[in-house]
Chain A
Amino acid sequence: QKEVEQDPGPLSVPEGAIVSLNCTYSNSAFQYFMWYRQYSRKGPELLMYTYSSGNKEDGRFTAQVDKSSKYISLFIRDSQPSDSATYLCAMSADSGAGSYQLTFGKGTKLSVIP
């Protein structure tokens, strides 16, 4: 079993739809959870950052972490064509050395159709 599982998609939705993206993980030591957006041939851009369990909202984006189920989600409301990209979940544990290696999911390719 891989440490982080993410459905690669592709996922196509109409403009204005609510998008739900998910990752599951197996390492209970993970405490920091992130979602990155990556456009084609570009570096990943940090969208959401969450520590431990709970919800975090930022504009049209909501990140949820359920550590008991080892499951994280990213919701995108009122999706726009400009949201079309690959979304990568990433997580890390406390290394104790002040620096945190990330473990990434494979990424879900999202297309928002006008």
Chain B
Amino acid sequence: GAVVSQHPSRVICKSGTSVKIECRSLDFQATTMFWYRQFPKQSLMLMATSNEGSKATYEQGVEKDKFLINHASLTLSTLTVTSAHPEDSSFYICSADRSSYNEQFFGPGTRLTVL
């Protein structure tokens, strides 16, 4: 149990386009999902905390108008990178909180490359 999926696993896009990444908890309901960004050889940096049915809470320095997060159901959260630029190229990872156990389970990540 406790499987989290992400789609797509890899995306290459042109500068100025928007990219949507989906995060799904497949076998449990997740009231809270988290979005992280990871640069090569670096640890995970929390971008935002997403609660089902409410607005996401963004970490300091993360532009909420650029990284749109929607958590419409207990099993799905989406991150949209709007007007992507090459500096947005990174590995984006979501996690879902299986709250009754206070554990976070991570998706496989999405590698975004902006040309």
Q: A residues touching B (Cβ–Cβ < 8 Å)?
A: 8, 32, 34, 36, 41-46, 49, 51, 88, 90, 92, 98-102, 104-107
Q: Which residues in B have their C-beta under 8 angstroms from that of A92?
A: 102
Contact pick for B103, options A43, A46, A98, A104, CB 8 Å: A46
Shortest CB–CB separation between residue B28 and chain A, in angstroms?
A: 13
Nearest A residue to B103, CB-CB: A49
Q: How far is the CA of A17 from the CA of B42 in the complex (A)?
A: 26
22 residue pairs bridging A and B, Cβ less than 8 Å apart: A32-B102, A34-B103, A34-B104, A42-B108, A43-B107, A43-B109, A45-B106, A46-B105, A49-B101, A49-B103, A88-B44, A90-B104, A92-B102, A98-B31, A98-B99, A99-B32, A100-B104, A102-B95, A102-B104, A105-B43, A106-B42, A107-B43
Q: Which residues in A have their C-beta under 8 angstroms from that of B102?
A: 32, 51, 92, 100
Q: How many residues in B have their beta carbons less than 8 Å from beta carbons of A?
A: 28
Shortest CB–CB separation between residue B29 and chain A, in angstroms?
A: 13
> Does the CB pair A101–B34 fall under 8 Å?
yes
Q: How far is the CA of A2 from the CA of B100 in the complex (A)?
A: 29
**Sample of 20 further A-B pairs with CB below 8 A, known A49-B103, A106-B43, A107-B43:** A8-B41, A34-B103, A36-B106, A41-B91, A41-B109, A42-B109, A43-B6, A43-B108, A44-B44, A46-B103, A46-B106, A88-B43, A92-B102, A98-B31, A98-B32, A99-B51, A100-B97, A102-B34, A102-B95, A105-B43
